[in-house]
Structure 1
Amino acid sequence: MMKSIDLLIGRPSPDLQAADKLAAASQIILSQPERSDLALTYGPDHGEDHIRRQVGAWLSQKYRPGPGRITQDRIIITNGASGALSSILQKFTDPLYTRRMFLVEPTYFLAVQTFLDAGFGQKMRGIPEDDEGINLEYLRRQLEEDSKAECIPDAGAPITKFASQGYRKLFKYVLYVVPTLSNPTGKTMSMHHRIALVELARRYDMLLIADDIYDFLAWPGDDDIPHEGLELPPRLVDIDRQMPGLSEWGNAVSNGSFSKLAAPGLRVGWCEATPSFIYDLSTCGATMSGGCQAQYTSFLVYELLFSGMLERHIQNTLIPIYRRRYRTLVKAIKNHLYPLGIRISTGKPYEVSGTDSQGNRVPTTLSGGFFLYIDFPSDDQFPSATEIIRIGREEYGLNIAPGEIFAVKGDIGSLERAESTFNLGTRLCWAWNEEAVLTEAIERFAKAIQKAKM
């Protein structure tokens, strides 16, 4: 029987999880009573100060933000990006007062349920992606039309959460986006779009929730340039902080996680935003009841950061292996799928600088993350994506995502757009499988397509 191959799963393969480093960190912490006592009890709601400082210092070194170093009052320790997303919605949105919940489409399909759970099923709208990461004009029209629509004035608007109950700031609009090396398409939002997006957010009282999950798994598009010293795009939260007119609450929050860097089971991450935003985020009910939601695991992460073990793991293990797997997948696609009319959907390359082998700064483009998207031909003679995926699953043991799962649930327009855009293709992940398996998977994929064409 043919062994199945999963190209949908989006996680590190087990051999890339930092088990040995976490074991060393655990031994250090648990062997010192003064540290283990703190690690094993309820912690401060926002996380231990020394851990927040260490995360801020690490982020400052990685991003080199224009506004200056990232201080601990801008950081909260979370139980991962998924949990943090839920907490953000709980604290800063209201299912009646918040007018629209925008998601860039194709979207990260597993995040959609969090918005549904928060009561926004009827208010969710997809914003199409363009070659620079988001169709700004489409978003602008949506905001303009909605803001002009007849509604009850804000002073008397229906609301379920009140300032007297601890909800000091509610946003009228929210946009969920993965700006850098996005899930599912792997595109990186242009600098122009990032600035314009922050400007729109300020104008319409919109919160930008940015999943900055894949930023540190980046490498130069030029294979001859080492990945060390690669420039990273400024996050939306960096741009918001640097632009004149920053409000007390800001209009962007950076949602980060150690799941893709150390191990998904750690369930620890961070959020960065203005101090007021971070403080209020620490007052969610579950956090106030139990303290920091990643107390023990955050101590492990601190040890990995302080010792440099995590950075060495990223630079010496993760990026080199992912870079090879990515190159292998791309080569296989070009060898076996390009002759069938399929193409990689890359978008506009994001230009950055890297350091060549002689130590000189040189221009390059940004690659990395976990995913790429392939587009099928749109002509009537080509088999449907549904049929290709069915044959791939039933006859060739391939688990591949139908493009339609990346539509925004609750938005009929998103489902309709999917039929003529991203449903004519699929997301592929290179993080889970080794190189030989990736090559075999694409060979099987090509056979499934040829079978569907018969």
Structure 2
Amino acid sequence: MSAAAEKPLINLIRGWPAPRQLPADLLKAAADRALADPAVFVPGLQYAPDPGFQPLREELAAFLDAYYHPDGGGGAAAPDAARICVTGGASQNLACILGSFTDPAYTRAVWAVAPCYHLSNPVFEDAGFKGRLRAVPEDDEGIDLEWLERGLRSFGSDEPAEPVFKNLLPERKAYRHIIYAVPTSANPSGKTMSLRRRQGLVRLAREHDALVVCDDVYDFLQWPVLTTTTTAAAAAAAAGSGPESLLLPRQRPPPRLVDLGPGRHDAGGFGHAVSNGSFSKMVAPGVRTGWAEGTPAFITGLAHTGANRSGGAGSQLAAVMIWDMIRTGALAAHVDGVVRPDLQRRHGVLLGALRAELAPLGVRFEEPRSTYGGYFVWLTLPEPVSAPIVARRALTDENLVVAAGDMFQVKGDDGSGRAADGEDGARVRFPHNLRLCYSWEDEERLVEGVERLARVLRGLRDRPPTAEEAEEVQQAFGFV
């Protein structure tokens, strides 16, 4: 048996909520109440309306309004039920958005912020955009708008003048471009797009008839960054009196792109952004329930996606249970008293381990100033250390699973063709990056995982990769 096999597996790839975050008791109570009332369980067990369970739409409208516009201000229209439809989760709904608002001939390209959420790539390819995914790099403020604008302008022709393969009007339309982003606590980089970048992105979308699909799944998972003192206090409180003692005040997120208004290509009132939300991180992935928010016209069109009309909105019974959790206050209490405090604590523990073990080895990572969120920390290794080789050694030598940066490249666009356009294609390649997830493993295993990773990096100094190892990794990952 190898030395690695004798160690318990530590998985720092898995982006799942920890078992202690799953509200089985709250879901059971919600199901018991729903299934005891015919006025609730009859519609809840039938086919759903196309836009989803109406009571959930109404409760969700108020829930979102209270979160995004707590003072009633911000210049945005308050969410209402007509702006919301229930979905089968953010991933399924991404496919529905592409089905109803793109045409493979009319829509020119899909632009994705790089590094990108890797499992979005096959969704775009399945919708007919293989070979037409374009990477847009990000900096500390988020998406590089100058890079994106040059790319959008490179598609100068207006041909074809109308969709070729789909008959979408009048309830839907095809956009010329799709822009995919995770504006808040991005997967994998953890970055949050600044307000001015959000405003600039909407401006470009209006000008070029683009739809910005905002993966807003981490908006509710924000917290004040723990200092060494507050980390100790939080741990003591958690040990002493349970999660209810750790209720965190909500961190108001930046305005969503969906709240930033229409444009000149928008005669039908569809807008140029949609907020794609999910209960997977707030409740549980297994409920397979989410929502979309956009203009009423956009939401009507999305609800009329063919797969939706045959049987109605997905996850009807789960939608009923989530509705009950929202109306009783159970969801807000769970997110603020369990989910966010747990993630805040885990993130603080991981940062402490990174500072102690990896920073002295030249590894860089974001030191958040006041607020952080999501599930991930993005590491930059000192050159010329190869992330794929580190990931391979971590598994074979330490039984540690980490994600090498190449996993998060936009599929089909490695930046190699950008030099002719005067652009630095290396900005959309990630040979020296690793993503660590802190949501799944317990705190002590997070620390041990970082210690194992440090041993791998020190081992590379003593045992540099051989030519054979580099070739094997090249074949597996595409680069070293």
TM-score, length-normalised on structure 2? 0.85
Which residue, 338, 344, 348 being the options, matches 1:323? 344
Write out per-residue CA displacement over residues 50-100 of structure 1, whole angstroms, 9 at most, x where no aligned residue. Answer: 210111100000110532321100000000000100000000001110001
What is residue 198 of structure 1 aligned with on the other side? 202
Alignment partner of 1:161 is 2:166:
yes
Structure 2 SS opposite 1:305: helix
Distance 2:346 2:417 in 1: 32
What is residue 56 of structure 2 aligned with on the other side? 51
Q: Name the amino acid aligned to 2:103.
A: D
**How far apart are residue 170 of structure 1 and its match?**
0.5
**How far apart are residue 388 of structure 1 and its match?**
1.2
Which residue, 113, 129, 146 being the options, matches 1:137? 146
Alignment partner of 1:259 is 2:280:
yes
Distance 2:459 2:51 in 1: 55
Distance 2:167 2:182 in 1: 30
Report the CA distance shift for 1:414/1:250 in structure 2 as closer, same or farther (over 3 A): farther
**How far apart are residue 338 of structure 1 and its match?**
0.5
What is residue 359 of structure 1 aligned with on the other side? none
Write out per-residue CA displacement over residues 179-228 of structure 1, whole angstroms, 9 at most, x where no aligned residue. Answer: 00110010000111000000000000000000000011101236469840
Structure 2 SS opposite 1:58: helix
Alignment partner of 1:440 is 2:448:
yes
Query: Contact 1:404/1:418 (CA < 8 Å) preserved in 2?
Result: no
Structure 2 SS opposite 1:290: coil
RMSD of equivalent CA atoms: 2.1
Alignment partner of 1:365 is 2:357:
no
What is residue 299 of structure 2 aligned with on the other side? 278
Distance 2:417 2:79 in 1: 40
**How far apart are residue 414 of structure 1 and its match?**
6.9
Q: Name the amino acid aligned to 2:22.
A: Q
Report the CA distance shift for 1:453/1:180 in structure 2 as closer, same or farther (over 3 A): same
Distance 2:25 2:410 in 1: 39
Query: Contact 2:113/2:138 (CA < 8 Å) preserved in 1?
Result: yes
Q: Name the amino acid aligned to 1:429.
A: C
Runs of 5+ in structure 2 lacking a partner? 1-5, 232-246, 419-424, 463-480
1:219-230 aligned within 5 A: 219-221=223-225, 223=227, 227-230=248-251
Which residue, 390, 395, 398 being the options, matches 2:397? 395
Report the CA distance shift for 1:421/1:162 in structure 2 as closer, same or farther (over 3 A): closer
Q: Name the amino acid aligned to 1:395.
A: D
What is residue 452 of structure 1 aligned with on the other side? 460
1:21-420 aligned within 5 A: 21-64=26-69, 66-147=75-156, 151=157, 153-155=159-161, 159-163=164-168, 168-221=172-225, 223=227, 227-240=248-261, 248-345=269-366, 365-378=370-383, 380=384, 383-413=385-415, 417=425
Distance 2:120 2:163 in 1: 26
**How far apart are residue 411 of structure 1 and its match?**
1.6
Distance 1:8 1:168 in 2: 38
**How far apart are residue 238 of structure 1 and its match?**
1.2
Distance 1:431 1:158 in 2: 42
Q: Name the amino acid aligned to 1:90.
A: G
Structure 1 SS opposite 2:217: coil
Report the CA distance shift for 1:108/1:415 in structure 2 as closer, same or farther (over 3 A): farther
Structure 2 SS opposite 1:119: helix
Query: Contact 2:185/2:218 (CA < 8 Å) preserved in 1?
Result: yes
Report the CA distance shift for 1:161/1:420 in structure 2 as closer, same or farther (over 3 A): closer
**How far apart are residue 412 of structure 1 and its match?**
3.7
**How far apart are residue 402 of structure 1 and its match?**
1.2
Distance 1:268 1:210 in 2: 17
**How far apart are residue 418 of structure 1 and its match?**
5.6
Distance 1:420 1:123 in 2: 15
Identity of aligned residues (%): 39
Query: Contact 2:168/2:174 (CA < 8 Å) preserved in 1?
Result: no
Query: Contact 2:171/2:297 (CA < 8 Å) preserved in 1?
Result: no
What is the number of residues matched between the two proteins? Answer: 429
Query: Contact 2:86/2:290 (CA < 8 Å) preserved in 1?
Result: yes
Q: Name the amino acid aligned to 1:35.
A: V
Distance 2:135 2:432 in 1: 17
Structure 1 SS opposite 2:130: coil
Query: Contact 1:408/1:415 (CA < 8 Å) preserved in 2?
Result: no
Structure 2 SS opposite 1:277: helix
What is residue 468 of structure 2 aligned with on the other side? none
Distance 1:387 1:267 in 2: 35
Distance 1:229 1:11 in 2: 22
Distance 1:202 1:33 in 2: 47
What is residue 432 of structure 2 aligned with on the other side? 424
- Higher mean C-alpha deviation, range 58-67 or range 80-89: 58-67
Distance 2:441 2:100 in 1: 38
Runs of 5+ in structure 1 lacking a partner? 350-363
Structure 2 SS opposite 1:187: coil
**How far apart are residue 294 of structure 1 and its match?**
1.6
| Superposition misfits of 4+ residues, deviation over 6 angstroms | 243-246
Query: Contact 1:136/1:193 (CA < 8 Å) preserved in 2?
Result: yes
Q: Name the amino acid aligned to 1:189.
A: M
Structure 2 SS opposite 1:104: strand
Report the CA distance shift for 1:418/1:303 in structure 2 as closer, same or farther (over 3 A): farther
Distance 1:420 1:51 in 2: 40
